[in-house]
Structure 1
């Protein structure tokens, strides 16, 4: 099929029971909307998605409680329950915009704490197949704070809200439901202290933001609901990170933020080499069983194999701040809650509990922020009707999922469903990236779409497609 036809297709696109019952009214669905109860909202999970959910809920509920099994550290430190927190995290441009709207001055606060900031198109060097995109001003801000600092500052802002309470070291045992499971009326928990008894916390709304380990699909089945359909893209990713002391003996970043050799089917080893507030960090990535080593010599040898030699040259004589740390990510998972014909009132999902993205593309925190705005819109309209909310949530997930899952499916060994739309994108996007090596307008368009500011369809606008196809002919 000719590429132009592809573009047209792209454009048109028997243990302790986990659920208990109580004697709350089991009135027909929709009562919650007609008679809003806005006393108490419960958020399961206190990571970034859960904290953002609490921020939105605080505007319409008298009391919001955030529950988490982990201990919240005092200050910016990695958390035990977030093993990926020790690795480089990116906040895409749309995420930065939303967080600055929800927490005015946050980017300036991060910068004052040492986070390097700059334009996504000029202070980050993007490489595809060993060739750097032409630098171009995008008007989009990158704040390279690292996850622990960003999470700490967001949590501090939400903790300061008078109607929000964080309760850590608390295990979530299960949901509490009305007799026929039509409504979720609270949760059962147990504090992680010796002798603690199980207790029930009543709530008018429960939001599951427990991440990739969510038990909502299992709880729904135990309540008599159908199984949630899951879509998997299996890439068997491993990324290994090592931190290095500043200054570097050889520093190719200078006053900029990062060098990013992006993994491609032609050059499947990738990396992120970033300047952070107090150090430099390198995350090496490998897919389909190619695992960057977690010993320093192996780490350096892997870095030497990258198509961008500056990464290895910068760290070969640098001082490591500890041993490399690896994290394995077997598959991206999208849970299609919006396809369920029945869903209990009083329960919503958010963040990785709805969709787990390949972390290489840095979408997780930004999509959580986008989903928080979806929650905010539904809260402003009254008590959220779950199925309507879940349909809107799915629409918010569509674009980032198409971009990351589609990119992964460009690797022949990756498992997943390759639709005609996916194959069309994987014929077009590499040509756009190649053309952007010498065309700043294409660099800008690509980075604005990758930053989730512009929709993917923006890359198919006539003025963009003509530049891509024209350069291909030349």
Structure 2
């Protein structure tokens, strides 16, 4: 247990990153106040302030490990509540380039809870911390700081339901976890600091989700069926068992090829996927809700780590720093790892240095960002610089996936990286590379499954914009 280093820490934003941050802060501050615009306590449904909660959100293998480090025993609690857990390489049925990968249990456990249920269980743990307070239905107006802007001293908030004006919540540390819509870059400029640089890649993803109760079983011994979008067919899906005996389907399209939200159009879109068993299951299933669509235009990384100066006692975490491509389900896991990094710094007995912490956050983000940005650039319509290294990685990745259709050890190696357990450099180990090349030499790469859709989809995949 860390010794208390200061009086009050304020967390702006009560979503999953805010909860992780509060858990990291609680041992080191006498009081932790978590501020959010929504009602949070006891909520087990999707929230208006977090529309992405209606869609599949996942904790990857390393994220699950971090979750258990932050909240020991929470895995069993969620399992007792009916949350299934899958093995990323063993009980997830992956399709790459239209072909199914071999499977093997590799100890890569993933949480298959719906986002509201995951938040509910994490929130209950945070609520149980005696020094944590929730300020619900409050808008964050801005920061308060010393006259010279060198130190943040609190947050300015407005309580929606009390008819009062703006008030200042004094703090010894303020942590922004308000997500992609964070106004931290604007606040820093107002305090006299430089503009935060941003890196973006336009991917123009649209994903639509629905929950079902099945009348037939397409899973067998698997927990999830995931056909991955490819340049030939820029459509994919995650179809998974989840809490409450339901299944959750999120299907997506890249570069403007978005799924329709009417039932017939949605089902026709699903029918084009590389895993025909998904469509066969849902046409006979009982829908439990309406189809919800979410659009994601660009990935984004705000480079707080590149600032030459920053105010003391102010940190930024989670989607407020980086929103990677949601298809790869990295965001929650990165947030959990950032919370562990924050906790480790606090255990040294003093408040984190803002620039040093943001640089550590960047070091957590960088491998995942570089890996997924490289994958995104494999789609010809995605704009960006394709270095020789990027092009070679595209060739090697295709060979690796092809090898994984024949040998499960390649699946396990790839999923350890995709699950953030191993760094991307692990795929360059000589033994693995030689194994992939040997497999490729013995058998040339097979073509992916033929398109299961109209020819226009193929034209979009080669970079044309939909009309």
SS at match of 1:293: coil
Residue ranges of structure 2 left out of the alignment (5+ in a row): 443-467
Query: Which residue number in structure 1 is paired with residue 270 of structure 2?
Result: 303
TM normalised by structure 2 equals 0.91
Is 2:341 aligned against 1:374? yes
Which aligned pairs between 1:93-108 and structure 2 lie closer than 5 A? 93-108=61-76
Which residue of the partner structure matches residue 69 of structure 1? 37
For the structure 1 residues 214 and 421, does the alpha-carbon distance in structure 2 shift closer, same or farther, using more than 3 Å as the test?
A: farther
Which of 301, 308, 330 in structure 2 is aligned with 1:363?
330
Are residues 1:182 and 2:150 paired?
yes
Aligned residue number for residue 398 of structure 2 = 430
Q: Report the Cα distance in structure 2 between the residues aligned to 1:466 and 1:371, rounded to whole angstroms.
A: 35
Q: In the aligned structure 1, how far is the partner of 2:17 from the partner of 2:179?
A: 8
Please point out which of 120, 123, 138 is paired with 1:155.
123
1:249 CA drift (Å): 3.0
- Structure 2 matches for 1:141-220, cutoff 5 A? 141-220=109-188
CA distance in structure 1 between the partners assigned to 2:50 and 2:383 by the alignment: 26
- Which of residues 362, 371, 377 in structure 2 aligns to 1:394? 362
Query: Structure 2 matches for 1:16-415, cutoff 5 A?
Result: 38-245=6-213, 248-278=214-244, 279-381=246-348, 382-415=350-383
Tell me if the contact between 1:265 and 1:411 (Cα under 8 Å) persists in the aligned partners. Answer: yes
Partner of 2:450: none
In 1, the alpha carbon distance for the partners of 2:221 and 2:29 equals 44
Partner of 2:433: 465
Q: For the residues of structure 2 that align with 1:41 and 1:416, how far apart are their CA atoms?
A: 40
Structure 1 gaps of 5+ residues are 1-35
Contact kept? 2:91, 2:105, Cα under 8 Å: no
1:252 CA drift (Å): 1.1
Contact 1:244 1:280 in 2 (8 A): yes
CA drift of 1:390 comes to: 1.1
The size of the alignment, in residue pairs, is 437
Assess, with a 3 A threshold, how the Cα gap between structure 1 residues 168 and 417 changes in structure 2: closer, same or farther: farther
Cα deviations by residue, 1:67-118 (Å, 9 ceiling, x for unpaired) = 0111115242111111010111111000111111111111111111111123
Check conservation: 1:295, 1:323, Cα contact below 8 A.
no
Give CA-to-partner distance per residue, 1:207-227, whole Å, 9 cap, x none: 000000000001111111111
* SS of the residue 1:95 aligns to: helix
Inter-partner Cα distance in structure 1 for 2:143 and 2:308: 20
- Displacement, 1:295? 0.8
- The whole-number CA distance in structure 2 between the counterparts of 1:324 and 1:192 is 31
CA distance in structure 1 between the partners assigned to 2:41 and 2:371 by the alignment: 34
- Cα deviation for residue 242 of structure 1 reads 1.4
SS at structure 2 position matched to 1:329: strand
Distance apart, 1:65 and its partner CA: 0.5
Alpha-carbon separation, structure 1, partners of 2:387 and 2:274: 30
Does the Cα contact within 8 Å between 1:111 and 1:143 map onto a contact in 2?
A: no
Is the deviation greater in 452-461 or in 137-146? Answer: 137-146
Question: What per-residue deviation string (whole Å, max 9, x for no partner) do you get for residues 248-291 of structure 1?
Answer: 23321134210000111122110111111221121110011111
Q: CA deviation at 1:122?
A: 1.6
Q: Secondary structure at the match of 2:374?
A: helix
Q: Check conservation: 2:215, 2:286, Cα contact below 8 A.
A: no
The answer as to whether partners of 1:293 and 1:302 remain within 8 angstroms in 2 is yes
Give me the whole-angstrom Cα distance separating, in 2, the residues matched to 1:123 and 1:359.
Answer: 21
Q: What is the alpha-carbon distance in structure 1 between the residues aligned to residue 128 and residue 220 of structure 2? A: 37
> How far is the alpha carbon of 1:373 from its aligned partner?
1.1
User: Aligned residue for 1:12?
Assistant: none
- Aligned residue for 2:368, secondary structure, equals helix
| Aligned residues of 1:73 and 1:79 also touching (Cα < 8 A) | no
